[in-house]
């Protein structure tokens, strides 16, 4: 299940984001000067039979916006794929480009905003415009049991989508109902540099989230 659709990858509903993602593709850091940027909305990806859905905020301007895959080629992705590999959810501990042979096992990765936003801050209307794509990912995962939301924005907008009030607090969980299905929502700080560099999110805290998820799924 790749999350690809013409409606998604050719979406231009948010002029500010279209402009920003294109500008990022021209204003490349020296280390990426030979890259041809994806510079379009970024699909979700992973196991179509996944029991775990991971919801991030948005692709990074020089990460997913460059590589065409969420959490691929940026510092947040280094933390995410390291943990996914450690707990048996991915085939490799790092993801650097779209054409590697990365596979996810029992997990699917998506985001509440599919285009890189300025300062990593999508506007409310931009998030509303993107809800349809998160909803499609959610509805396509028939075996879903657990959702990991990364940060307050991902948590609150996932709650809006399913009609549940979710109050973000790191390392908490909440049971919700969506389409007559019970889901357990795990919440974590986003593994962004502003959290990992400051010590707000440590590797021990991060691994504990995935340990809890693994134990939860094993008990089902």
Domain ranges, ordered by start, for the chain: 6-218
Whether pLDDT at 1 is above 70: no
pLDDT for 114-167, tens place per residue? 999 999 999 999 999 999 999 999 999 999 999 999 999 999 999 999 999 999
Q: What are phi and psi of 58, to 5 degrees?
A: -165, 160
pLDDT for 25-74, tens place per residue? 999 999 999 999 999 999 999 999 999 999 999 999 999 999 999 999 99
Q: What's the CATH number of domain 6-218, 3.40.50.720, 3.40.470.10, 3.40.50.300, 1.10.260.40?
A: 3.40.470.10
- CA separation (Å) from 151 to 35, 57, 96, 103, 170? 29, 7, 23, 24, 8
Give CA–CA dist 31/51, Å, rounded: 37
- Rounded to 5°, the CA angle 83-123-166 comes to 55
**The pLDDT of residue 121:** 95
Whether pLDDT at 3 is above 70: no
Across all residues in the chain, what is the average pLDDT? 95
Q: Is the pTM of this model over 0.85?
A: yes
Q: Report the pLDDT averaged over residues 70-94.
A: 97
């Amino acid at each position: 299940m790749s999350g690809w659709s013409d409606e998604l990858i050719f979406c231009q509903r948010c002029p500010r984001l279209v402009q920003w993602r294109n500008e990022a593709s021209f204003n490349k850091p020296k280390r990426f000067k030979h890259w041809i940027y994806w510079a379009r909305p970024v699909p979700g990806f992973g196991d179509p039979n996944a029991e775990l859905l991971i919801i991030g905020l948005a692709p990074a301007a020089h990460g997913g916006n460059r590589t065409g895959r969420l959490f691929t080629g940026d510092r947040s992705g280094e933390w995410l794929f390291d943990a996914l590999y450690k707990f048996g959810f991915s085939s490799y501990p790092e993801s650097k480009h779209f054409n590697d042979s990365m596979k996810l096992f029992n997990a699917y990765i998506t985001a509440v905003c599919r285009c890189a936003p300025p300062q990593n801050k999508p506007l409310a209307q931009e998030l509303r415009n993107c809800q349809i794509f998160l909803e499609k990912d959610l509805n396509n995962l028939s075996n879903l049991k657990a959702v990991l939301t990364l940060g307050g924005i991902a948590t609150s907008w996932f709650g809006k989508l399913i009609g549940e009030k979710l109050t973000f607090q790191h390392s908490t969980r909440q049971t919700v109902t969506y389409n007559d299905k019970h889901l357990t929502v795990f919440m974590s700080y986003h593994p962004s540099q502003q959290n990992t560099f400051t010590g707000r999110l440590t590797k021990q805290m991060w691994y504990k989230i995935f340990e809890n998820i693994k134990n939860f799924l094993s008990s089902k």
